[in-house]
Amino acid sequence: MLARRFPGGVLAVSTVSTVLVVDDSALMHRVYEVMLRDRPMLHAHDGDEALRLIDQRSDIGLVLLDINMPTISGFEVLDRLRAAGRVPGLPVIVITTEGRDEEAARGLAAGAAAYLTKPFRSEQIRDTIARLESSAKT
Amino acid sequence: MTDSESTKPGTLPGLVNGDELVRHLRDTLDRAASLAGALSEALARISPQQPQETEPAFQERLRAAETDAHDLASRLVESENQLGRLMNLYVATYQLHAVPDPAQVRATIADISVNLLGAQQFVLLLRRDETADWEVALREGIRDPSAFPLYAADAYTIGGDPQVDATLVDGSLKLGPFTDSTALAVVPLKFQQEVLGVLVLLKLFDHRPPLRADDRELLDLLSAHAASALLAARLFAAKDRRLKTLESLIRLARPE
């Protein structure tokens, strides 16, 4: 088991797990490859591909999920993961361009572990992941 | 030593009489004195020469150490920011030249504007081949065309926005805000002094701070590399079309 849920709802991610990046932007996939170059990574360009990979791969320990995608949105992916019982066990960080509080609240209520808005700096995403990882160690 | 002597009150184990006790006490005192001397020497080495100046000198050293720590922290933050900007520049350049397809290059320009610059509304004007017209090649985030009527149609008319018009002529990057324009920034796509188009940033996302001098590096890169990527993609597309045409002709001419 690569991710655990702790009392208080804190999700934890193991440092050896694979990161699944879900985004329809090839640019953002490149951004994540550079920012998180020390981590094994899988890439999904839409929600359907993401759901398929999560189903097939047991090594995925963290999901970076873009909300604004054309076919099915990140919120819908999150809803399907929750219906399948995968979240909140599998840590999901929702990524969006909108900085509205209601979007953050919706993502967190749907089972996301954290929320980031684009454009973000590398230390922001690394700090968010580190925060989840530090919970795994305690 | 007998058991009776070891248990006699006022004696120490191993000592037979008072003389030995006195000798033991003297030895102990001598050892204590030598230890005290060594401790004093050690304290003198780490303490200031003039004890009456310890407090101010210490405070001065403390202030200097705090200043150094603050400077180091500032430099570390600046290094992190610089690294972030370099990363953006690398990724943007890589992606612009990744696929030599005009539509893909336009999509990447939009991608960079949204994901790296944080632009919510923007338009991309490109020169139509062999004409003096400027096509509205891309319109992003503008749900109500009446909000930006200059860019509602398929073509941009010269005389609509002074900053855009000036950039189309002189090819220089302009950062707003402007008093005579709705644009926040006008970025020329320029290749060897020829302006192929402009990217007009109209609105940033609400959570995004205003454009700063730091953003200029990415805008300058976009100005040069977006233009060269677009030109290369157009040339590649033209050559590809000619190649396919020739291949079709060859297939037609070949006997069955």
Q: In this predicted model, what pLDDT tens digit does every residue of B189-243 receive, in sequence order? A: 999 989 999 999 999 998 888 998 889 989 999 999 999 999 999 999 889 889 9
Question: Which amino acid is present at A73?
Answer: S
Q: Find out whether B155 and B135 touch, Cβ atoms under 8 Å.
A: yes
Q: The whole model's pTM is what?
A: 0.75
Q: Find how far residue A43's CA is from the centre of its chain.
A: 12
The mean per-residue pLDDT over the stretch A28-55 comes to 94
Q: What CA–CA distance (Å, rounded) separates A74 from A56?
A: 19
pLDDT at B130: 65
Please tell me which residue, A6 or B60, carries the higher pLDDT value.
B60
Q: Find out whether A43 and A52 touch, Cβ atoms under 8 Å.
A: no
List, as own/partner pairs, every contact residues B28-31 make where C-beta atoms lie below 8 angstroms and the sequence separation is at least 24, other chains included. Answer: none
- Does A117 contact B90 at a Cβ distance shorter than 8 Å? no
Q: Which of B135, B84, B148, B146 is nearest to B106 (CA)?
A: B135
Alpha helices in chain B (DSSP H): 3-7, 18-46, 54-96, 102-111, 162-170, 215-221, 227-253
HSE of B62 in the Cβ direction (CA atoms, 13 Å)? 6
pLDDT at B46: 65
- Does A34 contact B90 at a Cβ distance shorter than 8 Å? yes
Q: Which two tokens stand for residue A104?
A: 């953050």
Q: Which two tokens stand for residue A52?
A: 């398929």
CA-nearest residue to A122 within chain B is B84
Express each pLDDT in B135-190 by its tens digit: 999 999 998 888 898 998 889 988 899 999 999 999 999 998 899 999 999 999 99
pLDDT at B219: 94
pLDDT at A5: 45
Residues in chain B closer than 8 A to A117 (CB atoms): 205, 207
B151, burial (CB in 10 Å: exposed 0-12, middle 13-18, buried 19+): buried
Q: Which two tokens stand for residue B233?
A: 């993609």
Q: What CA–CA distance (Å, rounded) separates B139 from B121?
A: 8
Alpha helices in B47-155 (DSSP H): 54-96, 102-111
Residues in chain A closer than 8 A to B90 (CB atoms): 34
Residues in chain A closer than 8 A to B115 (CB atoms): 25, 27-28, 31, 97, 118-119
HSE of B72 in the Cβ direction (CA atoms, 13 Å)? 6
Is the ipTM here above 0.85?
no
Residues in chain B closer than 8 A to A122 (CB atoms): 80, 83-84, 87
Q: Which residues of A touch B (CB under 8 A)?
A: 25-28, 30-31, 34-35, 97-100, 117-119, 121-123
Q: What CA–CA distance (Å, rounded) separates B70 from B88?
A: 27
Q: How many CB pairs under 8 A join A and B?
A: 59
CA-CA-CA-CA dihedral for B203, B207, B212, B216, to nearest 10: -60
